[in-house]
Each structure stands twice: as structure tokens, then as C-alpha cells.
Amino acid sequence: MKIVLLGAPGAGKGTQAEVLVKKLFLPHISTGDMFRAAISAGTDLGLEAKSYMDKGQLVPDEVTVGIIKDRISQADCREGFLLDGFPRTLAQAEALDTLLAEMKTSLTAVLNISVPADRLITRLTGRRMCRQCGAIYHLLYNAPQKENVCDVCGGELYQRSDDKEETVRNRLKVYETQTAPLIAYYQEKGLLHEINGDQPINEVMVELGQALGQKWS
Ligand code: ADP
Ligand code: AMP
């Protein structure tokens, strides 16, 4: 299966992706995670990406499409993959279609996780991530058992610098203008499934399963 998870920042893409990829045995490809890894490694890509991420802007399409091209042409993606946070612009969606056509394949499904805009700010400002393994938490909705400590690996939890309220507001504007048009793009292609993201994490997972023809509870 070749799946795209679509949705505003804070909709729950990363949270659902963590579980979905284990259930479906797919590589999890998150452009945001790839940029954060490049920033930690101090590479040129990281330096460039950081200058946009800190302002809540999108990293330019040429850069982002380039890293996706390299990643999905790797052997572990031949049978399928889960894209999380890519594509985010029409140009990226068209580039992805071209890349997949060159590989003589196409997308299986696009899952659009919808959450009312007024919930997204609380979700993003309360998000905490594990510095070590990248697991996602929320101070209120998905709190770790021990404050500031990852349940999975014991790593330290931190707040992403782009999850500060001012940057979050900009990211949500960028989503509305640049990414939301992808909903109509994929609807026209008959690939879109609407998922209600405004319900408990486990229930969102059940809806995702139904959309993918999987029976899990
Ligand atoms: P995205 O990857 O779409 O930006 P995340 O998966 O990182 O979103 O989720 C954003 C925040 O919302 C995180 O703190 C996460 O724990 C929390 N969250 C995710 N799904 C839900 C949900 N269904 N209900 C409440 N909070 C959620
Ligand atoms: P995310 O982890 O998906 O919330 O992404 C964090 C940030 O990384 C975004 O606000 C962008 O600055 C950048 N980013 C991630 N994915 C993309 C993409 N597909 N196109 C452009 N920028 C991206």
C-alpha cells in the first residue's frame, strides 16, 4: 500500500502513523522528521530547513521533493510506504505523481484527518516529543506516565521550537493557503478518504482501518 496521510498541523498524522506503520509493516516517511534529523546532524540540508521551519514556513519544493525522491526510490519502499507531512503543496503532489508514474506505480489511498481549526492550537502547543525516539505525547490528551520521560525508551521529552503559539498560528495559515487545496486535488482523483480526527486516538485508528479495508479494533 502506498498511503498519504493528509491533515493540518496537529491533526494527528504522526500519532496515527506510529501505529499504522507497525500494523501494515510499511516504512514511515515523515519529511518533518527527516528535516529534524538533518538539523540534529548539523548538515547543510538541516541548516537550510531550519531557516524556514523556525518561521513556520514550508521548506522549498525543490528541496523537499529531492529528499522524497531519494527516499522512495530505496528498496524498502518498493512494496509500499506511508507518507506523513508530504505532499504539502500542489507542486509537491504533482511531483509525487510524476515520480510514482516513473516507477510504474501509483498511490493506493489518501487519508485526510480533519480536526476543527480551534482545536489545533491546543494540540500543538501541548505537544511534547521524545528527543531520543521521536514518540509523540500531549500534556493533556496523551500524557506520559512519568512527567517529561518517554514511556517507550525513557528519553527526555521536549517542546518543538515551532510549537510555540506564534509559529503555530503561522503554520496554520500556511496550511490553509498551500496544503488545504490538496483535499480537492485527491478527491478529484478518487483517492480521498475523510477521517474524523476529532475523537480519541484509538477511535481515529479504527476509522483509518475501515478506510483501508482493514479490520482492527
Ligand atoms: P501532526 O503529525 O498531524 O502534526 P501529531 O500526531 O503530532 O500531529 O499530534 C499533535 C498533538 O495532538 C500531539 O500532542 C498528540 O499527542 C495530540 N493528538 C494526536 N491525536 C489526538 C487525538 N485524537 N485527540 C487528542 N489529541 C491528539
Ligand atoms: P511536521 O513535522 O510535519 O509538522 O513539519 C515541520 C516543518 O517541517 C513544517 O512546518 C515545514 O517547515 C517543514 N516541512 C515538513 N514537511 C514539509 C513539506 N512536505 N514541504 C515543505 N516543508 C515541510
Contact, 51 vs 93, CB < 8 A?
no
DSSP letter at 179 equals I
- Best of 138, 162, 199 for a ligand 1 pocket test (most atoms within 8 Å of beta carbon): 138
Residue 87 maps to a domain: yes
Q: Which domain holds residue 84?
A: 2-26+79-117+164-211
Q: Would 70 be classed as within a structural domain?
A: no
CA of 30 to the centre of ligand 1 (A): 15
For the chain, report the end-to-end CA distance as a whole number of angstroms: 20
- For the chain, what is the domain count? 1
CATH number at residue 174: 3.40.50.300
pLDDT for res 215:
82
In a domain, 85, yes or no: yes
Q: Is the pLDDT of residue 216 over 80?
A: no
pLDDT band at 217; cut points 50, 70, 90? low
Ligand nearest the Cα of residue 55 is: 2
Does some domain include residue 32? no
pTM: 0.97
Mean pLDDT in residue range 135-139: 97
Closest CA to 117 of 16, 50, 13, 197: 197
The residue behind cell 522549498 is 60
Give domain status of residue 204, yes or no. Answer: yes
Would you give the distance in Å from CA 28 to the centre of its chain? Answer: 9
The reply to whether 184 falls in a domain is yes
